[in-house]
Each structure stands twice: as structure tokens, then as C-alpha cells.
């Protein structure tokens, strides 16, 4: 089962507590750890986390820089644990605009875990669903220009395989925390048939109990993928 999470509400959590926005993100990173560890117990083999969107560059540079440093130190801190637990790390998003230091650790994490098949952890950083589709279309155009592909051969699978999630299953469930009910450019193509779960809990307080609530709600749904339900 593939679960995608829009981790929202770090800032609101922090301001409610009279803390800096970064304190909210740091607490959010602890929630990330708890949720990753819970996945194996509940049949979740792929987890996609929306950590930084293509729109998040509009934030103040101090917050952006601190977030990038947090991603960097998080990856450094947990890389050995990811390797030990046979977790494959994949990055969704464009490396453009990311710092050299972050790109380096992203490349190391991707390379050193690429043979793992037990659990897939996708980190969406500088990610936008539309941007991902634009990049996929460009790759297809290049293949056509080079004569590797004919336009008449393009189908849904051709596009899926050009996305950052190439050859992964689409998300079954997308969770968004902190009460907002929108997709915000997350997995635009892949979410065509996803179920949604909206939690009022802000991300820093999202924990295993909240995660189980979301998974239980998903289990009670009938997914018909456009056919008549129940047939």
C-alpha cells in the first residue's frame, strides 16, 4: 500500500506554542520518524512525504535556508538506518535551485539505497505535480526528437514511466494534516484514483494513533476505479 502525506501545520503549531516556525519544522521531523517506523506494522510499503513544494520558495529566505539545512542533516543522520532497514530513498522534484550540499546527500542516499526493495520512502523536495509533468513531457519530446519514440506510441504508461515515481504504484491514500482540504500540486498525475483523508491535527502532533485512524478510514472504503462499486 502506498500512502502520500501532505505534512501541513508546522507553522501554526509553532505559533500556537509561541515558538519559531523552525521549531515547528523540527518537531515535524520527529513526527516523520514516528510515521516511517509505523509503516511496516500496517502494510504500508511506500510512503511519499511532501516536504517542500515548488511554491514554498515564496517563503522568507531564512525559513527556506533552515528547512534545506534540516533536510540535509535529517538525511545524514538517518542514512545508515535507512540502509540497515533496506529502505529505498527516492527524490521527487527538481534538483534545480537546491544547494550543492543537499544535492550531494540526495545523490548519496539515492545511490546507496537503490537496490533496496523492502520499503520505498519518497521525499518530495522542490516538488510540484505540474512541474513533474512538464519535465516528463520534455523527456518524451527529446525521445521523439532522437527517434526513440513515435507520438502514436504514447499512452498513459509512457507518461507514468517518465515521472519521478516511475514504476512505483500510485498512492492508494493521501493524507493531509492541519485541516486544509486541497491537493496543492501534490502527485497530480498519480492521485487520479487516490482516496483522501483530512486530519485536523497539525503535523507536529500527528502520530501513530492518528496514522492508524487514517488507515482504518481507508480500509472501510470501497474503491471502484470508475466501475460499478461492489462488482
Q: Which residues are catalytic?
A: 8, 56
Considering only the stretches 3-11, 100-108, 158-166, 191-199, report the one whose residues sit in contact with ligand FPP under the rule CB under 6 A.
3-11
Considering only the stretches 8-16, 40-48, 108-116, 223-231, report the one whose residues sit in contact with ligand FPP under the rule CB under 6 A.
8-16
CA atoms within 13 A on the CB side of 187: 32
Considering only the stretches 70-78, 105-113, 164-172, 214-222, report the one whose residues sit in contact with ligand FPP under the rule CB under 6 A.
70-78
Three cell numbers written together for 90: 527516492
3 vs 169: CA distance, rounded Å: 10
DSSP 8-state symbol, 217: H
Out of 3, 5, 7, 163, the residue judged to bind ligand FPP by CB under 6 A:
7
Residue 139 has φ and ψ, to the nearest 5°, of: -65, -40
Told to check if 71 binds ligand FPP by CB under 6 A, we report: yes
Three cell numbers written together for 130: 505540474
Out of 82, 120, 203, 206, the residue judged to bind ligand FPP by CB under 6 A:
203
Q: What are the angstrom distances between the C-alpha of 45 and each of 3, 119, 121, 130, 172? A: 8, 5, 8, 25, 11
Out of 2, 4, 5, 28, the residue judged to bind ligand FPP by CB under 6 A:
28
174 vs 31: CA distance, rounded Å: 17
Told to check if 9 binds ligand FPP by CB under 6 A, we report: yes
Closer residue to ligand FPP in complex, CB, 75/163: 75
Closer residue to ligand FPP in complex, CB, 37/221: 37
Q: What are the angstrom distances between the C-alpha of 116 and each of 68, 85, 135, 163? A: 25, 9, 26, 20
Told to check if 174 binds ligand FPP by CB under 6 A, we report: no
Binding stretches for ligand FPP (CB under 6 A): 7-12, 25, 28-29, 32, 49, 51-52, 56, 70-71, 74, 123, 178, 203
Amino acid at each position: 500500500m502506498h500512502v502520500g502525506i501532505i505534512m501541513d501545520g508546522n507553522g501554526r503549531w509553532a505559533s500556537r506554542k509561541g515558538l519559531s516556525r523552525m521549531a515547528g519544522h523540527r518537531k515535524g521531523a520527529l513526527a516523520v520518524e514516528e510515521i516511517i517506523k509505523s509503516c511496516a506494522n500496517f502494510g504500508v510499503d511506500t510512503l511519499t512525504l511532501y516536504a517542500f513544494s515548488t511554491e514554498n520558495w515564496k517563503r522568507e529566505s531564512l525559513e527556506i535556508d533552515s528547512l534545506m539545512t534540516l533536510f540535509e542533516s535529517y538525511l545524514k543522520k538517518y542514512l545508515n538506518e535507512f540502509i540497515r532497514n533496506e529502505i529505498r530513498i527516492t527524490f521527487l522534484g527538481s534538483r534545480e535551485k537546491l544547494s550543492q550540499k543537499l544535492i550531494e546527500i540526495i545523490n548519496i542516499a539515492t545511490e546507496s539505497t537503490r537496490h533496496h526493495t523492502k520499503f520505498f520512502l519518497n521525499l518530495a523536495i522542490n516538488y510540484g505535480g505540474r512541474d513533474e509533468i512538464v519535465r516528463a513531457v520534455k523527456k518524451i519530446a527529446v525521445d521523439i526528437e532522437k527517434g526513440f519514440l513515435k507520438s502514436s506510441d504514447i499512452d498513459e504508461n509512457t507518461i507514468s514511466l517518465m515521472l519521478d515515481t516511475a514504476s512505483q504504484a500510485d498512492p492508494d491514500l493521501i493524507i493531509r494534516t492541519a485541516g486544509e482540504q486541497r491537493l496543492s500540486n501534490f502527485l497530480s498525475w498519480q492521485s487520479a484514483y487516490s482516496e483522501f483523508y483530512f486530519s485536523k491535527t497539525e503535523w507536529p502532533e500527528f502520530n501513530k494513533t492518528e496514522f492508524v485512524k487514517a488507515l482504518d478510514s481507508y480500509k472501510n472504503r470501497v474503491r471502484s476505479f470508475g466501475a460499478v462499486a461492489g462488482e
